[in-house]
Amino acid sequence: MKRLKYKKGRKVQPNYFEYTGHHKEQPVEMQLFVYNETDYVENINVTLEFIENELPKQFATKDVKWLNIHGLHDVTLIKRIVEILELDTFIAGDILNVSKRTRMEELNDVLFFSIKSILPEKDEKTVHVEQISFLLKGNLLVSFQEKRGDFFSHIRERIKTNSGIVCKKNNDFLLYLMLDAVMENFYITIEKFEDAIELLQTEAKTIENQDVLVRIEKSREELNYLKRSLIPLRDSLYNLKSIQDDDDYAGIEKSNFTFFARLHQKSLELLDQIDYDMNSLESASSFYFSAQSHRMNEIMKTLTIVSVVFIPLTFIVGVYGMNFENIPELAYKNGYFVTLGVMFILVLGMIFYFKRKKWF
């Protein structure tokens, strides 16, 4: 698999913001979902003016509000939403700079969470990498996606049909569901890698082509990339779980920290699975080299036996090839046939001896 690489963030002025991703072809779309235990309102294709007018009014209600944004290349819009939420402007820079690692940050009454979503493309040769950011403030959750996707379609369906306990919980539980949905993409990606690893393990035992070794190293690099993406996620989830005893932050209900602890446990399971897959690749690589070494030893053994068999024959031929007049056997009538017979018997004897010693 070939993963898509993002360009590094530029060193610009602190008050200058730029989207560092690649998804700039689609227009920015926003949806606002408002719900409680009994009611549900979905506002599609909302405008910035709608957000400026309605969002402050919605803060006065106890309903859960979810503002979902597809597209980050409209820098002015992202900055304005951050200003409406009365947040520091550097948060807008962190949302727009998709090259940063996964992290969680608690800012007084606001929880900021950014995570990398990694999912195989349809051709299974490339990996789609997307940064998704979340802002949790009061009864509002804002999600920022680089492009339109179906990561959270099942969550919207659960809210619409009032399935489960999502409508009975606050927006912190909604954040848990979204993080869980993103982490499911890691399971799908790792499963694709495991299918390729099983094939590589089989080919390493049967195919001598060096292309197998190249693919093993490529898979190891991809797994390392997944691991580098998961380690900061694990640390962020641990930090999120650790603020349970923080009296200064009340954005997450005490009873819901158990769900985030499950996410932390999932991240540990994913890392363990990646370590197992990397060990499998290491075993396949070691087996490939062992098989190559064994094949070389077999070839060298065959060549050595052939050489040893021909050494005495070469000696006999060399002796009778000397240009001396008084070699006794030269005048013997059947000397040629006797010499050939001796050489033939000598070869058979040596082969029988090697076979008895189990040298081949």
Choice between 124 and 50, residue whose per-residue pLDDT is larger: 50
Determine contact, residues 92/82, Cβ cutoff 8 Å: yes
- Contact 42/64 with Cβ under 8 angstroms? no
C-beta separation of 81 from 70 below 8 A = no
Per-residue pLDDT band at 9 (split at 50, 70, 90): very low
Burial (Cβ within 10 Å: 0-12, 13-18, ≥19) of residue 181: middle
Instruction: Give the confidence band of 178 by pLDDT, cuts at 50, 70, 90.
Output: very high
pTM for this entry: 0.77
Q: What SS3 class is residue 251? A: coil
Q: Residue 268 has what pLDDT?
A: 93
- C-beta of residue 182 within 8 angstroms of C-beta of residue 115: yes
Report which of residues 206 and 143 the model is more confident about.
Answer: 143
pLDDT of residue 302: 85
Mean pLDDT of the chain: 83
Which one has a higher pLDDT value, 13 or 257? 257
Q: From residue 127, how far is each of 30, 143, 314 by CA, in Å?
A: 26, 22, 63
Give pLDDT tens digits for 242-270: 776 665 566 788 888 888 889 999 999 99
Q: Specify whether the CB–CB gap between 359 and 301 falls below 8 A.
A: yes
pLDDT of residue 21: 79
Tell me which range, 62-76, 203-217, 278-292, is most confidently predicted by mean pLDDT.
62-76
pLDDT in the model for residue 59: 64
